Amino acid sequence: MQLTLVQTQNSIMRKPEFIPNYYAYELAVNGRRLSSAKKTYFFSCINKIYQENEKFIYRGDKKDKLQSLYGVSDDYNELGHSLFIMGAKAGMFVGSGLPGINEIDIAEAGNNEFRLIFRMLRNLLRREFPFGSVRIAMKQFREVREQEVTAFFQDNGNEQVFIDKIEIANKQQQILIRDYYLALLHHISKSEYYASSFLLSTTSSFSQAHRFAWKEEPGDSANPIIFFGWIPKHYEGVLSVPDSRVLRRKVNMGKLRLPIYERSFFPNQEEITLKGGLLPHYLLGYLHIHQGKEVFEINPALFATDESWDGIELPIDQSSFHERIENTLFGRYFTFDDENGRYNQHAM
C-alpha cells in the first residue's frame, strides 16, 4: 500500500476529506508538539506502516463516552494514557462481568451459541422497520440480495438443522462460522446482539469514521474523536469474514450446506470488524479538537522504536494494565494465545 497525503486550503475536522491530511494537523505526543526531528521520524514510520501491513483503519467515537468508560477526567493527557495501554474495546467487555442474555463468550462456539445466533437472526430478519436507512437496508437484504439466507432463518424448523450441520465442522471451522453470522448481527444496531457484541466496528474509510464521530454534534464541538490504526497481514484479530470468498476457502460451506450471505446490511460503510477490540499495539493515535485546533495525538510507543522497527507491531508496556482497568467500567478483558491462535475471556 502507498500513502498519499493531500494538502487542502482549509482542513477542518468538521469538513471531512477522503484521506487524512497529517500535514494540516498539529502533531503531538503526550500532549506536546512534535519537534522537527520527531516529525520526520513520524512520517517515515507512517510510510513503513502502510507498506508492511494489510490496511489502515479508522473508528469514529465520542470523547465524553470514552472518558466515562475509561474512568478518566477531561484532562488532556489522561484519556490518551489509558487508550495507549488498553486500546479500544468492544461493548461486551463493559459491565459487571456477569453474562448477558444475548452474550456469547469470545472463546465459545458450541450448540448453545449457535442456537442463540439462529434465534437472534430469525428475530432480526422477521422484524419490520417503519422508516430510515435501516428500513431500506433490510428491504434490500431480504427482498433483493439475500432471499435464500432470509428464508432459511425465518423458518423455525431450521433451528435444529442449523445446529446439526455445524456440529460436523471442527472447532476452528465452528469459530469461523460463528464469527461469520455474528458479524451480520453486529453490523446493525437494531439487532439483539449489538449491545453484547465482542466485536468492534472500524472502517477503511476515513470519511465514514468522520461521519460517525460528528454524528449529532454541533459545529463547534470538541467531543468527536477518530482512532487511526492498522491491520497486520494474516492478523487473527480481524474478521476475514463476512468476506464469503475467504470463508469458502477455509470451510467447505457446500458440504455443510449452510446459507451464505455475500454482503452485509450496509456494504458502503466499508466496515472492518475486529474481535475484542483495537489493540494498542496497532493504534497509531487519535485525531481530536483541542483548543479549537485539530490535534493528532500519537501513540508514544512509536517513539520507543528506532529505524530498525519493522512497522508491524508497537512495543507496548502493559505492566500497569490491571491497575488501570480496575478504575474503568470494563468488567472483563480478553487475551490472545499466539501458540494456539485462540482467544480467551476473563472476568475482573
Q: Which three cell numbers stand for residue 265?
A: 446490511
Amino acid occupying residue 70: Y
Specify which residues 330 forms β-bridges with: 94
Q: What is the number of other CB atoms lying within 10 angstroms of the CB of residue 293?
A: 12
What confidence tens digit (pLDDT) does each residue in 280-298 have? Answer: 999 999 999 999 999 999 9
Among 267, 272, 275, 262, smallest CA distance to 197 is for 275
pLDDT-above-70 percentage for the chain = 92
Which pLDDT score, from 0 to 100, does residue 12 have?
47
Q: Which residues contact 343 (CB under 8 A, 6 or more apart)?
A: 106, 107, 275, 276, 334, 335, 336, 337
Which pLDDT score, from 0 to 100, does residue 3 have?
36
Which pLDDT score, from 0 to 100, does residue 246 have?
67
Which pLDDT score, from 0 to 100, does residue 1 have?
30
Residues 294 and 281: their CA atoms lie apart, in Å, by: 24
* Helix 111-126 × helix 147-154 angle, to 10°: 110
Q: Which three cell numbers stand for residue 312?
A: 508491524
Q: Which three cell numbers stand for residue 269?
A: 460503510
What confidence tens digit (pLDDT) does each residue in 133-179 have? Answer: 888 988 999 999 999 999 999 999 999 999 999 999 999 899 989 99
Q: What is the number of other CB atoms lying within 10 angstroms of the CB of residue 152?
A: 18
pLDDT over threshold 50, residue 11:
no
Place 333 in a pLDDT band, splitting at 50, 70 and 90.
very high
pLDDT over threshold 80, residue 233:
yes
Domain ranges of the chain: 1-90+200-237+276-348, 101-197+249-267
